[in-house]
Structure 1
């Protein structure tokens, strides 16, 4: 079996491009297709953003984002848009960028040095839990792995105002799993697979909570147990792959369905 790294060699039909950028593009396009496969789409909205490697950008902050107007199932490595921290298009892309989408992502990429990747979703379970007064509760296997790992940011309306950024960064602190109250879920990470592992766990915790609360009162996980679960949850740890194996497995599933994301 090949991994997304092994699949990301720049094809001859692609314009001359640094191989590190092409690899990043293939990885990000694969992730958009994974979100589509999982049903984590919201029409043409929401975003996954990835920093362009410094070997390409020369240390300048540059990012890859989905072209606004395309469904996640239509995203490919070549049609991803390269932008700067202000959302200005850098690569002559014919596609626009949704300003309401990148404001939050830009604040996190700029405000958190370790935020190589940022993901945001409006899944039913994620938005439902974000609308609860008490948010995510310590009642299931997945929420226990996120004990003291979840940040909350209050809803301030549609995210088109840059002045919200400092408040968002202050509320996030060093927590990689974020619940945007009344809005949805967000995760950031040092790598794309790590970010995916965090978001998947957070979304799964919300799904289980929504199902549990529909049946009645939930049995809480004792705090001491939750502390151990959070400590023992190694899927976020770079020393244990930080989600790479899970991500590669899902890429293989996408490849069997439609490998056009590599175009």
Structure 2
């Protein structure tokens, strides 16, 4: 991917479509869409959070955002392909965030099913991550992430390779994680599924913060209901999956932000 127009640093790279497999291009477009949707929802934190997706094929390569590019600017071709050591697996004029590499490479390496990993610093997500009680069972939305939710204690900016072992141990087989004093993380087999998980986890945090701000006594969901939904939630989410809403979200992006597929 070489620069073609120095006057436009966002679009000044050649399309990668003719230089990657059809399967990789599909993942690139899905991940670029996820970045644009995160920006549209107001979940981005300038350039300081990350979404990543594994590239189909025998090599353990994955795609991550070009460091310094706003989420609302990211395109399918601008995503950087790297290996588990953080080395570029395909030429790119962009660098990556080393903290993003630490967190994402840990999950991708440990979880064969974690083809997509999303990590955000949303205001409400960070607010809940600072609360000792974490996510509370006070809304219908919260029941789904609570069925497979993990926590990881804060260890500073994620630059220490040794933290990777503790992070993946804390994550276990779960698909949702609250990084204490830090933010939210979801992982799934596909970009649409990881996005849906993040949407529900983020919505749960928003509801919790607003309910607490109201100052009234909160009504906890009875434990039998919580346990019943926990047992059924994996089946329910697999039946619905992220693909229910994903095509509509892509159509919305095509209408409002043409060019993201570049």
* TM-score > 0.5, shorter chain as reference: yes
Structure 1 residue 232: Cα displacement: 4.1
Unaligned runs of 5+ in 1: 1-10
Partner of 2:237: 236
Question: What SS does structure 2 have at the residue aligned with 1:146?
Answer: helix
In structure 2, what is the Cα distance between the partners aligned to 1:136 and 1:121? 16
Note if contact 2:30-2:192 (Cα within 8 Å) is conserved in structure 1.
no
Partner residue of 1:38?
41
Instruction: Spell out, residue by residue over 1:60-102, the C-alpha distance to the aligned partner (whole angstroms, 9 max, x if none).
Output: 2100111111000110011111000011111110000111111
Secondary structure at the aligned position of 1:179 is classed as strand
Aligned residue for 2:99? 100
Work out whether residues 46 and 122 of structure 1, in 8 Å CA contact, stay in contact via their aligned partners in 2.
yes
1:17 aligns with: 20
* Matched position secondary structure for 1:91: coil
| C-alpha distance in 2 between matches for 1:41 and 1:128 | 15
- 1:253–1:111: structure 2 CA closer, same or farther, 3 Å change rule? same
> 2:77 aligned with 1:81, yes or no?
no
CA distance in 1, matches of 2:202, 2:236: 15
Secondary structure of the residue aligned to 1:262 is coil
CA offset digits 1:172-231 (Å, max 9, x no partner): 111101000000000001111111111111111100000000112211001111122334
Q: How far did residue 257 of structure 1 move?
A: 0.6
Residues 136-215 of structure 1 mapped to structure 2, 5 A cutoff: 136-215=135-214
**What stretches of structure 2 of length at least 5 have no aligned partner?**
1-13
Q: What is the deviation of 1:16?
A: 3.2
1:224 matched to which residue of 2? Answer: 224
1:118-162 deviation line (CA, Å, top 9, x unaligned): 000011110000000111011111112233311000000000111
Q: Distance in 2 between matches of 1:13 and 1:22?
A: 8
Aligned length: 247
Alpha-carbon offset, residue 31 of structure 1:
1.0
| Residue in 2 that maps onto 1:51 | 54
Cα pair 2:15 2:77 within 8 Å, conserved: no
| TM-score normalised per structure 1 | 0.90
